[in-house]
Amino acid sequence: MKKELIAELFGKFETACYLFNNLECWSARELQEMLGYSKWDNFRNAIEKAMKSCENAGVAVSDHFADVGKMVDLGSGSQREIDDIALTRYACYLIAQNGDPAKSEISFAQTYFAVQTRKQEIIEKRLLDVGRVIARDKLTKSEKKLSDIIYERGVDDRGFAIIRSKGDQALFGGFSTNDMKRKLMIPDGRPLADFLPTLTIKAKDFATELTSHNVIEKDLSGTTQISNEHIENNVAVRKMLIQRGVRPEGLPPSEDVKKVRRKLAGDEKKLLKDIKKKKGRAG
C-alpha cells in the first residue's frame, strides 16, 4: 500500500474518532463509508457478525456496540434521525476482520484498530507485515493449484519437487533452492519462501500462476514439458525484475514469516487483554 494512501486513510480514521461516554468511538455510519460498503444493510450484517465474535470472546457486546441516533440533512433543508451505532476500537477491529483484506480500506482498518497506538509509522510497518503474510498464503495456494493440475497430467510428488526446484534455479540466476537456503542461512526443514522478501514471494507466485495457466492452455503433460514451461516463466519473471534493477538472489532474507504471523496474532490478544483490564478497573 502506497504511503500516500496510508496517510489519506490515517487522516480519515483519526478525524472520524470521537468520545462517547468517555470512550474512543467511531460512528457506524461513517465507518460504513470509510470501509467501502455502499449499503447500510450489508454493513449491518458485518456488524452483527462482529457482535457474535465479541460474544464468543467473552466480552460484553453492550460495552462496544451502543445504539445511538444520528441526524442527517435532507434535500428539503430539514433533518431526520437515522439508526447509528457507536463503535469502540475493539468493535471496529472485529468488523474489519469480517471484511476482505484485499481491499485497501479493509486491510488498513484491520491494522489501524488492532494496534494500541496512533502512530502512522507503526501502522505502516504492520501493513507491510500483513502484506507479506498475505503474499505467502497466496503462494501456498498457487503451488497447491499447480500441483493439483499437474498430478492429473502424469506428474507425481517427486516430479513436482523437480519442477519447483528448476523454477527456483531459473528465478535465482542459477542458484538452486538449496543454494538459496544456504546463502540466506535458512534452518533445515524450513521452506525457502518463509524467509524471502515480499517482492520475491510475489515473483514466485506470478511465475507459478503463469505455469498453471499455460499447462492448461497448451495442454502440457509430463514432468519434462511442464518443467520447461515453469523454467520459461521464471526466466521471464526474472528478466522483468532485472530490467527494474532487482536481482532476486541478491536480496537479503526477511524475518521468518512464522514469527511475523505470531506477532500479528499477538496484536489482537493485546487488544482484548487491554479491554478486559480496563473493564476490571471500571468494575
Range of the domain at 143: 129-260
Torsion of CA 119, 123, 124, 127, to 10 degrees: 180
- Residue at 281 is within a domain: no
- Residue at 231 is within a domain: yes
- Dist. CA 162–CA 160, nearest whole Å: 5
- Residue at 239 is within a domain: yes
- Dist. CA 89–CA 31, nearest whole Å: 11
- Residue at 283 is within a domain: no
Kindly state the cell numbers that stand for 218.
497448451
- Residue at 85 is within a domain: yes
pTM: 0.81
- Dist. CA 184–CA 268, nearest whole Å: 31
In this predicted structure, what is the pLDDT of residue 161? Answer: 93
- Number of folded domains that form the chain: 2
Q: Is 215 left (phi over 0), alpha (psi -120 to 50) or beta?
A: alpha
Q: Which residue has the cell 504511503?
A: 3
In this predicted structure, what is the pLDDT of residue 78? Answer: 52
- Residue at 52 is within a domain: yes
Please indicate, yes or no, whether residues 146 and 92 belong to a single structural domain of this protein.
Answer: no
Share of the chain above pLDDT 90, in %: 67
- Residue at 267 is within a domain: no
Q: Which residue has the cell 493440475?
A: 149
Distances (CA, A) of 158 to 61, 162, 181, 213: 52, 6, 20, 21
Question: What is the tens place of the pLDDT at every residue in 80-134?
Answer: 667 899 999 999 999 999 888 778 899 899 999 988 666 788 888 989 999 999 9
Question: What is the tens place of the pLDDT at every residue in 163-195?
Answer: 999 999 999 999 999 999 999 999 999 999 999
Number of other residues whose CB lies within 10 A of the CB of residue 256: 14
Question: What is the tens place of the pLDDT at every residue in 10-63?
Answer: 999 999 999 888 888 999 999 999 999 988 888 999 999 999 999 998 888 998
